[in-house]
Structure 1
Amino acid sequence: MPAESEFTVTPYSVDGNVDYEQLLNQFGADKLTADQRKRFPDPTHPLVRREVFYAERNLDPFLAAANSGDDHALVTGRGPSGPMHIGHIFPFYFARYLQRAAGTTVYIPFSDDEKYLLKDQSIESISDHTRENLRDLLAVGFDPKRTRIVVDSADADVVYPVASALGKEITQATVDATYGDPENVGLSFYPAVQATHLLLPQLVEGRQPTLVPIAVDQDPHVRVCRDVAGKERHDVEKPGALLSKFLPSLDGPGKMSSSDDTPSILLSDDRETIREKIQTHAYSGGQTSVAKHREQGGNPDVDVAYLLLYYFFEKDDQRVQRLAQEYRDGSLLTGELKQLAAATIADFLEGHQQRREQLGPLHTELQPYRLTDEERRQALQTIGYPDDSLARQDSE
C-alpha cells in the first residue's frame, strides 16, 4: 500500500490513500465555501451541507442562475460497463434534487463508446449494460421536459460531428499531459467526445451556466473542456464543476468500484443481500470486542456503515450526528450500526426498484428524453454545420 502522501487519481484509476486537500493543489480547483453552500436551493442537499461535494470550479454563475430563475443546465453521465451500484447513483439523485428545486435542465450522456474502447468487453455486452443502466436512470424520476439522455452510439449523428469540430481544438500533447499515454487511438480522441457532452446543453439551448457534478477523479474531463470552451470561435460559457469525494468501498474509505475484488452494493440487490454484504464486508471502525468497544468506543470517520449513512442515505442531520456520538462513546455497537445502515439502504433501493419495475418497454419510456430533430439541427448549426434540411427534402 502506498504511503499516505502517495496516491494517483485519474479518470481511469484511483490508487493509494487520497489526500483531498492535496488534490485541490494538483488540479487547481477551489474549496467550496460556506457561502456557496448556503446558496444552493433550500433544503440544501446532504451531499452539499455535509461537504461530500467539497470543491468547485466556476460555480457562482450556476448558483446565480439557479436562484434567479435564469436558464442553467447540469451534465452528469454514465459509462455503462456493468450493473450500477450505489456509488453510481447518488449524482443522479442530486441532479434530480436541483431539477425539482430550481428547474435545472439535466443532460445525461451515456459513454458506451468509451467503455468499449477502455474495457475488455464486446459491443454486445456494452449494449446490454447500456439498456439495463438506462432503466435505472429512468427510475430516478427526472422530468422529461427538462431532461435529455444522449447515448453516444445511438446519437452519433450529433455527438460525432460536434466532437470532430471540438477535436480540432485539442492537441495530442494536451491529451497525453492530462490522461497519460492512451491505450488506443479511440481514447486519444475521446476527450473531444467528453467536451461534446459537457457543452451540448449550450449548443442546443444557447449560452448558459452549466454545472458538472462529478467525483474528483473525473475533473480532467472538465479541465480539457474548459480549455476548448475558452476558444473565441465557440459562443459558450466554460462549464463549472462540483467535485465530490469518493463514496467508500465496503473494504474501507476510498472509491467504490465495481471492478475490484470487494463486492459493491448493486441497485438490484435485495434486502438480505444488502444485509449480508454489509455485515460480512463493510470495514468497521469499532473495537475487537464488545467490552473493549463499550469502554473505548469506535471511530465513525473510517466506519463504512456510518459513512454510507453520512454521505447519502441518512437525510436527518441530527440523527447522523447522534449516531456518530453514540458510536464514539461506545453505546452503539458495530453490529447495530451495520444493521441500521443495511436497513436504510434497503429501504432506499426498494423504492428505486419498484419505480424501475413499473417502467414499460425501454424504447417507449426513453423516447420523451431523447433529443428532438430540431435540437439536433440546432446543436450542429451552433458548432458551424450548415442546415441539412434542403438535402433531406431533395432526397424525399
Structure 2
Amino acid sequence: MIWLLGERKKILLIHGMCQEIGDGIDYDKLIKRFGCQKIDEELITRFERVTGKKAHHFLRRGIFFSHRDMHNILSLHEAGKKFYLYTGRGPSSESMHLGHMIPFMFTKWLQDVFNVPLIIQLTDDEKVMWKDIKIEQARTMAFNNAKDIIAVGFDPGNTFIFNDLDFIGKCPSFYQNMVRIQKCVTYNQAKGIFGFGDSDVIGKITFPSIEAAPAFSTSFPFIFDNKVVACLIPCAIDQDPYFRMTRDVAARLKLPKPALVHSTFLPALQGAQHKMSASDPNASIFLNDTAKQIKNKINKYAFSGGRATVEEHRLLGGNPDVDISFKYLTFFMEDDERLEEIRTTYKSGELLTGDLKRVAIEIITPFIQQYQARRAKVTDDILSEFFKIRKIVV
C-alpha cells in the first residue's frame, strides 16, 4: 500500500520494527526483522531480461529496496500469465506531497512494463478511525487525492479506484472476503502485529481485514470473473506487517500469497531522520506548491551536507549522504551520469551547497509544474470513470 509513515509509525516504533538511527531509518535492519529479501543485482538483472526493459532508477538506486516473492511474479510473466497490481493511499490532506508520488510513479511504471490491471484503494475509513476526522471530510479528501493520483498518468481502461466508505457496501464479495480474513486472525494475533491497546476503538481492530481484502482477486468479481489471479503490491516498508498477516491468511484460504515490493521514504526537508508529513507545511513540498514556495522551502529548510564556511567546504568537501537536496536528486533526476557528477563535485568541495540547492530546484520545480498541468485536466467526469464498478482490461 502506498500509505507512508503516519500515525501507524507509532505502532511500528513501539514494536521496534522501524529503528531510526542517526541519519534515518536502518532499512537493512528492517529487512532482517521483517524477514523479507533485499533487491539485489541478480533480481534486477533477471527483471531486465524477463521484461526487456531497463530497470527503473528507483530499483537501480535502492529506493525500492526489498521484496517478497518478486521472482514468482517474474516467473508468471515469463509463462505468459497475468497478475494484477494493488496499492493505495490513506487520505489525510487536501493535497498530496512529493513523497506520496514515489510509490505511485513506480506503480505506473510497473503497470506499463507488465501491461496488467491496477487496483487502488483509498482508506478514508481508516483516517476516520485513527484521526479526528469526520466521515464527510475523509470522503472529500479521498476524492481530492484520487485526482492527484490520476494525474500521475493512470488509464481508466485498466485502473480501478475505490474508497472504502462508498465501495464496501456495493460489493458483497469484498465484504465476504473481509469476513473470511477476520475469521483467520485472533485478537491476540492482531494485537501482537499492530500494537492495539485496550483504549483503541474496535474499528481499528477490524481495519486490517479491509486492507488485506484487495490482495485477493476474488474480492473483485466484476473485474476478474471470480478467477484466482496473483497480486503484486508496491508499498512502503511500514505496510509490510499488514501483508505478512495477509500472506498467512492466504495459505488458510487456499489463495495465492500476494507478492510485495517495498520502498524507502522520501525524507523531510529538515533531514533524513524525519519524513515528509502532510501536517507540517515546512517539512514537505506539496503537489500544489508554487514555484516560489518550492524555491523558498528548499533554500530555507533543506538540510545541508555542506561545511560551515565556503573555505572549509572547498577544503573538506560536502557530505552528499546527508544532504537533502542531493537525496531529492536521487529520487527525481533520472540521468545516472549527471547524478554521479554532482555527487563527486559536491564531495570534493567544487560544488557548493547553494549550487546543489539550485540544481534541486531546477529539477523539482518543472516536475511539479508539469504534474499540476495534468492535475488541472482531471475533471469530476474523469474521476467518475475510475470509480465506476466495471470490467477493466485484464
**TM interval, short-chain normalised:** 0.7 to 0.9
1:128 and 1:288 map into 2 onto residues whose CA distance is 46
The residue number in structure 2 matching 1:139 is: 151
Q: 2:307 aligns with which of 258, 263, 287?
A: 287
- Going from structure 1 to structure 2, the CA distance change for 1:140 and 1:24 (only over 3 Å counts) comes to same
Q: Contact 1:10/1:218 (CA < 8 Å) preserved in 2?
A: no
1:341 and 1:201 map into 2 onto residues whose CA distance is 44
Q: Contact 1:202/1:208 (CA < 8 Å) preserved in 2?
A: no
Q: Deviations over 1:246-298 (max 9, x none)?
A: 21111111432223574210011111111111111111111111111111110
Residue 207 (structure 1) aligned with residue 219 (structure 2):
no
Q: Which runs of 5+ in 2 are unaligned?
A: 1-8
2:124 and 2:210 map into 1 onto residues whose CA distance is 11
2:19 and 2:66 map into 1 onto residues whose CA distance is 20
Q: Contact 1:67/1:102 (CA < 8 Å) preserved in 2?
A: no
Q: Which moved further from structure 2: 108-117 or 91-100?
A: 91-100
- Aligned with 1:144: secondary structure? coil
**One-letter code aligned to 1:91:** P
1:334 and 1:10 map into 2 onto residues whose CA distance is 35
The residue number in structure 2 matching 1:109 is: 121
Shift of 1:162: 2.8
**One-letter code aligned to 1:168:** K
Shift of 1:199: 2.0
**One-letter code aligned to 1:247:** L
Q: Deviations over 1:52-109 (max 9, x none)?
A: 1111111111122345542111111000011210111111111111111220221110
Shift of 1:8: 7.1
State the TM-score, normalized to the length of structure 2. 0.87
- Going from structure 1 to structure 2, the CA distance change for 1:89 and 1:261 (only over 3 Å counts) comes to closer
**One-letter code aligned to 2:351:** L
Shift of 1:175: 0.8
RMSD, aligned α-carbons: 2.2
- Aligned with 1:77: secondary structure? strand
- Going from structure 1 to structure 2, the CA distance change for 1:35 and 1:65 (only over 3 Å counts) comes to same
Residue 32 (structure 1) aligned with residue 39 (structure 2):
yes
- Going from structure 1 to structure 2, the CA distance change for 1:110 and 1:202 (only over 3 Å counts) comes to same
Q: 2:139 aligns with which of 127, 132, 147?
A: 127
Q: Which moved further from structure 2: 146-155 or 108-117?
A: 146-155
**One-letter code aligned to 2:358:** Q
1:199 and 1:369 map into 2 onto residues whose CA distance is 20
The residue number in structure 2 matching 1:172 is: 187
Residue 79 (structure 1) aligned with residue 56 (structure 2):
no
1:198 and 1:307 map into 2 onto residues whose CA distance is 32
Q: Contact 1:212/1:241 (CA < 8 Å) preserved in 2?
A: yes
1:69 and 1:349 map into 2 onto residues whose CA distance is 37
The residue number in structure 2 matching 1:57 is: 68
- Aligned with 1:126: secondary structure? helix
2:372 and 2:206 map into 1 onto residues whose CA distance is 36
**One-letter code aligned to 1:353:** Q
The residue number in structure 2 matching 1:341 is: 360
Q: Contact 1:9/1:217 (CA < 8 Å) preserved in 2?
A: no
- Going from structure 1 to structure 2, the CA distance change for 1:261 and 1:84 (only over 3 Å counts) comes to closer
**One-letter code aligned to 1:10:** L
The residue number in structure 1 matching 2:54 is: 43
- Going from structure 1 to structure 2, the CA distance change for 1:186 and 1:8 (only over 3 Å counts) comes to closer
1:87 and 1:222 map into 2 onto residues whose CA distance is 22
2:88 and 2:344 map into 1 onto residues whose CA distance is 36
- Going from structure 1 to structure 2, the CA distance change for 1:68 and 1:287 (only over 3 Å counts) comes to farther
State the TM-score, normalized to the length of structure 1. 0.86
Q: How many residues align?
A: 364
Higher relative contact order (CA 8 A, sep 6+): 2
2:42 and 2:66 map into 1 onto residues whose CA distance is 13
**One-letter code aligned to 1:191:** P
Shift of 1:373: 5.5
The residue number in structure 1 matching 2:385 is: 368
Residue 225 (structure 1) aligned with residue 236 (structure 2):
no
**One-letter code aligned to 2:65:** Y
Q: Which runs of 5+ in 1 are unaligned?
A: 1-6, 376-396
- Aligned with 1:367: secondary structure? helix
**One-letter code aligned to 1:79:** G
Q: Contact 1:195/1:228 (CA < 8 Å) preserved in 2?
A: no
The residue number in structure 2 matching 1:358 is: 377
Q: Contact 1:56/1:243 (CA < 8 Å) preserved in 2?
A: yes
- Going from structure 1 to structure 2, the CA distance change for 1:278 and 1:334 (only over 3 Å counts) comes to same
